[in-house]
Structure 1
Amino acid sequence: MLKYVGLVLSGLTRKKLRTTLTFLSLAAAFTLLGLLQAVGVLFSGASDFLGASRLITQASTSFTQPLPMRMMGIIESVDGIDAVSHSQFFGGQYGEARGFFPQFAVNPRLLKATYSEWVMPDDQWRAFQLTRDGAIVGRNIAEQYGWKIGDVVPLNSFIWTKSDGSRLWEWRIVGIFDGKDDEWQKRTSLMYLNYGQFDEGRAPGARGLAGVFVVRVTDPSNAEKVAAAIDAKFANSSDETKTQSEQEFQVSFARQLGNIGLIVNLITGMVFFSILFLTGVAMNQAVRERIPELAVLKCLGFKDRQVMWLVLSECFALCVIGATAGMLIASAAVQLPIIQSAIPVSVGGTVWLVAGACVIALTLLVGLPPAMTAQRLKIVDALAGRTGDSSFELALRKAIEWPAMGWRWVMGRSVRPAEADA
């Protein structure tokens, strides 16, 4: 098979400008495809790594509806619970650039009990508990903004107003935490705030409320039973709850933004159709220009099937090179700090498998019609210039002509009665 590599490469370099433009189009399309699929994989499986030992209790109507803090003692009384903490989304923006990253107001002691995956020195945990305006930040955020312990970070909350009417809150960094492993380390792009100053500083009507309760169960196999018991405690009350696993809560939170999977797949489909049409036209034109050359190959002893495989291999090589370049660009792009700080996305094995499947499908859909044309090519007709239209051209022509024919038929039907009256 290696002896045909020269023929394949010579076919690709015959029209250097066209090949270059097609390659750039493929690279750009697969860059977009890689980024979109990486985002889709993140949202569809972002919670797979989360432990099954945690439950999230929220208001039955929506997780944006706060719950009174008095409910925490009732939740703690349920059998099978190891620890309970509370969390309130803060929604602050940092600096003039309006940098955003997740912030949550929590009880420092309870956070350590329910989220043992966060690793931080004991003295920093103690400082977080003792400092009313204290905050701890993940390693990724600290490195992005160059923060260190002792820095004061102003956050302008678009949700919470202070009792004096201001939305500007100041927090003192007292600790920087890491994840227990690589998967958790990727998600150290958030910030925890001491609930003490937060609850004391906000408007009086909002004090004593929590966003959600985080429940750590002693036995993950009993998680569903514990969840049902918690919801039963507040059934038919003014504060009915919905308790679900942390995985399910993360998926529900992502769906508030819309059906990410459907959006990604629709855009990917449009991208695939675009590169299918573009590459198909380029390959079909390349084969038509080389009809006499293909006839000469048959004169030299190449079999019909060999000529077909040469054309198909040329299309496959172009798709592979363009797709590889695009995926490498996508892999490098997601490592940029500005992207990692916003969303911990990565181009993993699943995304590469999707790209590989697209390459194979693209090769067959685009390369097979001109390859079949080359296989059926008759030497006499080819050298005489009687080649006819390829299968791709016929399909393209029908796709263009059919709507026009239908429109003419509809217009003809609407005109005939008027003509008959005349």
Structure 2
Amino acid sequence: MWRDESVTWQVAHRPLGGIWELLGQVDAVHGLHYLLMHTVFLAWDGAGPGTGGAAGAAGAGGLWALRLPSVAATALAAAGVAAIAHRLAGERAALWSGAAYAVLPPVQMYAQEGRSYALVAAAVVWATYLMLRERWVAYAVVMLLGCWLHEFAVLALLAHAVTARRSRGWRWSAAAVVALLLPLAVVSARQAEQQLGWLGRPSWRDWAAYAVVAAAALLLARGPVVPRELVRVALPLALIPPGLLMAVSLVHPWYVDRYVLYALAGLALLAGTRLAAARGWWPWLLVGALLVPFGWWSLWLRTPESRKDDVLAVAAAVRERARPGDSVLFMPSRRREWLLSSPELYATLRDPALDRTPAASHSLQGTELPTAEIWTRLVDTPRVVALQDPADQPLDPYPREAVKRQTLASHFDLCSVDEVRGARIAVYARPGHCTDSP
């Protein structure tokens, strides 16, 4: 479980009132997903002991419940891609298009992650199918569901505008989606700085990845073997949402590839239909060559190394090193997330910097004391387990983080430092006490 999943886990386990109060402060964009996961955990945790309740996030049950909606949504999205291809290009194209979507590495990555992106993709794909069927009420409902799961699903409307052209039904449906999305947009706009402030402008790698996808989509769309109706659906979906979000991000950095995961459905439609029409040996040689790196990537995505960190590994390492009466210090404070999904461990440790808990402060990681109080509490602590970012990460310049570092350096000896996936766990003790027995 990496830290974004941990946020889902700990927020979804709050009472409904607590979730609602949080959304007024931060993370409104994920509000519907948190409410959905709250329901999932209520059903799962109520199924009996040992199924992954609030005290057992590290157990298999907790992870099963956390990720099962994403797995199901990815299967549903693949079925939707197949349904679109079936309508526009026939059964063989449906089989290959659905399979192509399912094997794409980014799709597999978010199929096994407890966040909203796979659900958003399923909603956009099925909204696209309903658009082709001209089921406008159903289209508006499903599209709105996707937008309420994550606002950037609204970019799919621009791709649909190219496909639907001057359809009156689409115009009314799109207007209804935008109007009903506005309340969420207003709330999340106020939260944008703290929600997206960590993002920078798209890197050259982002542009290169987009160029590769765009080139592949344009190449696959060429020629008479791919029906023009399918190209008119698939090409705008593959190109417009990510391209527009990257362009906007040159001014307002909002781009992350997972925010427009659903765009890969367009690429899968083109690739699957092209494969269905393939003749001769060379297309299958190309598929075989691609399956080798895709297979390696698929296996790698199922390891902890594929994520930035592993909160359950961090918690296990803290459990091994902590002694009764120890303090735990988060450097920076947002890394409190590493232990919030292991509440039974966190409850046994003193948190000398904490002022109000996440639930009490209606925040994700809680609020911290003023610098003077942090210093006072730390110097009264005999032993500290400090959870830090990897050594190559920049240090936060904020006063609270500076006083943590300065106090540890001036009043404690560094006893040990261990690297855990995406984290460092440093144990500090008062001078001369590093070797004290537990």
- TM-score, normalised via structure 1 length: 0.25
Q: Higher relative CO (CA 8 A, sep ≥ 6), structure 1 or 2?
A: 1
The structure with the largest strand share of the pair is 1
Name the larger-Rg structure.
1
